[in-house]
Amino acid sequence: MYTCKPLALLLAGCLILTPLFGSSKRQAGIIVAAQNAALHNVAATAGTTVFHGDALNTDAHGQVQVRAGSARFYLGASSGATLHNEAGMPSATLSQGTAIFATSKSNQFELIARSARIRAQGDTYTVAQVSFEGPHSLLVTTRRGALTITLGEDTEILPEAASYRVLLDPMADPDPAPDPQGPRGAGTGPHKTPRKSGHDRMYIIPIALAGAATWFALHEVFESPARP
């Protein structure tokens, strides 16, 4: 009986300490709305807390919206992302599909897609949509406000109200190699020459503004900075 006491005390201590350790896990956001979505393979529901490192996924008819600090983050159908909270700043790593985020400050939210890091360009209300077109290709649309996109040590600014094809691996570029003397400014026409972004192997191609059904469905949510 004596030998059982230390074990019993140890188990009791674990039961006491478990909630304490659990409560220290950083919160990355709160689910605002969800449809055909999963949080770690369990059905996602409104009001559920999302913690640092939690994965969200949607099926072909799904969607989920998260309040991440003062920012809003949305996943469209057939999409997946992992949410984080690094040093108090919420972020999300998009693994597939389409995401939209809205924020009013550049340091309130960051979207990561492959090796690219995307933020609001300044402290103004910004709404952006990012979709995977392929393993190394993104479609980035600046719905409201400008964006900065960073790859390694290089950062480019994407002006407001335009769409851009961002190639993160030039080997995946089906077009001819860009002219290194080409224009640095971003245009909105569909036939602009690809622009190489320094030595970090990133090409940014301005294209016609892309419409998206998910965007129109969420217009009221993301267009108003006054919404909670």
> What pTM was computed for the model?
0.76
Residue 10 CB partners (closer than 8 Å, separation 6+): none
> What pLDDT does 157 receive?
95
Closest CA to 161 of 207, 193, 220: 207
- Which amino acid, residue 136? H
Closest CA to 160 of 135, 188, 199, 196: 188
> What pLDDT does 5 receive?
54
Pairing assessment for the beta strands 203-207 and 71-75 based on DSSP bridges: unpaired
> What pLDDT does 211 receive?
53
Query: Quick count: other Cβ atoms within 10 Å of Cβ 77?
Result: 17
- Tokens 């990355």 appear where? 28
The residues spanned by each domain of the chain are: 26-223
> What pLDDT does 123 receive?
94
Q: At the top level of CATH, which class does the domain 26-223 belong to? A: mainly beta
Cα 82 from chain centroid (whole Å): 8
Closest CA to 108 of 71, 141, 74: 71
Residue 3 CB partners (closer than 8 Å, separation 6+): none
Digit-by-digit pLDDT tens for the chain (228 residues) are: 444 554 443 344 444 444 444 446 799 999 999 999 999 889 999 999 999 999 999 999 999 999 999 999 999 999 999 999 988 899 999 999 999 999 999 999 999 999 899 999 999 999 999 999 988 899 999 999 999 999 988 899 999 999 999 998 644 444 444 444 333 344 444 444 455 544 557 899 998 765 554 554 555 556 555 454
> What pLDDT does 95 receive?
96
Closest CA to 31 of 62, 60, 68: 68
> What pLDDT does 117 receive?
96
